[in-house]
Chains A and B, each alone.
Chain A
């Protein structure tokens, strides 16, 4: 009997823990549900949904290409361009900050910690908010969107780079130091060749995210396919919304496919 006592105690403790968790969750949900006004749904919801579905079934194919002015192809190309230049800008900043933040490259933890601090600062800024700020600087359009993506991705990319460096084998770096190589040479011969595949993989991963972000930047006026999309939504031309979303899905899928194929090849 004595033996089962601690067992019983553990079970009771476990049950108590689960009950508390359960009560907390229930309270949380009551709070969440009671705060939301469910009356707010407009009566037109169903007809609008029908129109949207209809828009997807018979999309506005004429929007794909028009010789003058805005069309789908130009919008998607601009989105792609925003993502491409944006990632380039991020790489330029993320590599030095990432190396700076890597624990095993700095002599004191103060250095790497300060690098990590900078990265967290960048990471907490949402792309969209940055875009709103850059619109004020360079005016609305793709340029502002590119700057937002480029600066916004530094935090995540730099963190991924730093983690890659921290996971590397330090032997080769030591061996370059042993033959008399200076810090730069240790970096070029010991560190970079080791971490390059990881860096490329992280960059491609972030590029996939960039594509999705770039597609939405236009919703707030920062260029790309989002601009005609928000106009189409506001103008309730659902056949145009349909073709734009189909276009986004196809391009993002293709980018994802190419990116994951490349990532598999380099690892």
Chain B
């Protein structure tokens, strides 16, 4: 009888790579990328920071890229990540499920990540324009404009009256909210680009502005902020020593010249300055600090979370109380006479008008009184007679869309125009100023620019055809999207399906204990851990289809990982350029020629490392779907009522993480078969101590020294087995290594998101811990099974790490990575 052979099912043939109609990296196919709508968080941001994109990138563990996205529109991620009032969170759709995503704190996380993983900052940018720009004031508005202008090729000089740069960031915000090194670091980046900041250089005098033009500047941006504290305008205010205004008090505190305060301190006002002054007073040792505010808590302009923090630090708040006279004795303040207030009808600001209650006056004792009622720009730098249009609030009147003042070539922005306002508004105004200055210098009519902006507002932001891009227009699209669509956040048009989401409250910010906080000026909030940040970012509902992170564009330039093997003897995982991987493929493997330097060309076989599912084996359990970072597998229904997974070859990037979790071994990764593994393991020399080292290819290939002998200890034999990604390392690898005589097993791969595969180490750690617990029952010491995720950018990081672990294995020390991880977890949990 003829031996029966099973006929290969049709699906089996269909899923042969190359048979599918298109192959992903075909250079002839073009893809359009475009936005259909902007997410409400981004619409809410005055500076148009691409919130959704950076949150998505954090969720994918791509922290550096996330930070780059923030920096495109906001040069101060570390600063805004701490002190921004985050209007974005107020419009976050996640609030309808549980709580908004902690967008602001995530921004801080990526900024901190860079501090912990420093990179060489960008060097000076070339000056390509002949015009020079002078900026007065080095606060967020001034420096944002400087940052934009230097990138546009203009030489920029910033003049700062104070001894330190940073404007209100440095002078007004205390360091427990915003540590000085953060400000210095972010300003330093701008300086390194070539912006000149002249501190201690006050522009003033009769011909101050004229002189700037005369000394070669072609445009001026006035961004002096609002540093001058307003007076209470009550009796006794200037009579006694011990009355301060919050602005100068905070300035002294922040520049290290804090005045000595009495034990009882009263602060008058209800804004963030009042709270900052109160919390600073607590830290300077005052025992009874009280904020006196004339309305109720509901009307307080300060951020709710600031009020809570202040209260927890012991600050008392007297609501519905206003001072009427400052009292004193022997030239020193002793207190103030206050009156109770009742609230009447709402005024034009929408807050209820305070009305004094008759005959309710009482005396409030205090050794210091700090007025924190508001600030205004300090216009003393202008001569008595000048050509600027000044409002009744002592601010600059400017053209709303261009920030042009009444003098040509001079622009004003930030708090100097709005009065005391937020950092993010100042940044937004810096962007507008830079754009206007460029337009002005290009001798374009400002009005013309303003018209075109209005036109942009009316056109539909949705149509894809408008946005279809070729490679050259990528940057243009980015530029237009930075300006936002001009709509309000509540105009977000795409319906977000809220009901689908399970509740998961936002991550708590680890915070210093109360006693540690008030003991000094150290930063109170400690920042998210990596795990907490990723989990928090994953709460984002991703409103709207495209986040415009533009990772796709840069990713597309890379290619899929492809395995090249030479006669099955020596092999290497390579990422090959599209022209090699995309001939009209009919079947893999493909014969190719590998040229390495001037060596003889090597004939190679090329196989993609993409994964395929054996349809007859797959149980439809969905494990692959849940671990894939790229959404390549999908469960599809079968006629018998069950489901089966299929992996899209177009999406699969060949990391093999799914192969490692498939319970029925239904997923096949080409090349990385069981035979491949066994072949490697059989090379063990049973007379020596064998250590099997599974390395992720992308870290391992570059760094495993060609001469392995040098690394081997005299009695040890190292067997390196490279996988596409360490996510491929499954429990059976470790058991099989032991079965074949290994003495220990080490997994070495990249840290999270250090390569094009994001989370392999996370999966590998899970698998490894499980196996370690099982082997512990068998009596194997856990020290022999270790893992490490060294940073390949560190010199010798990989080799050092392997050396360390080999020593630990020999000495029976526990895995340092393991300990570290537990420590971090404990901190996060606490």
A, B from the same assembly:
no
Interface residues of B (CB under 8 A from A): none
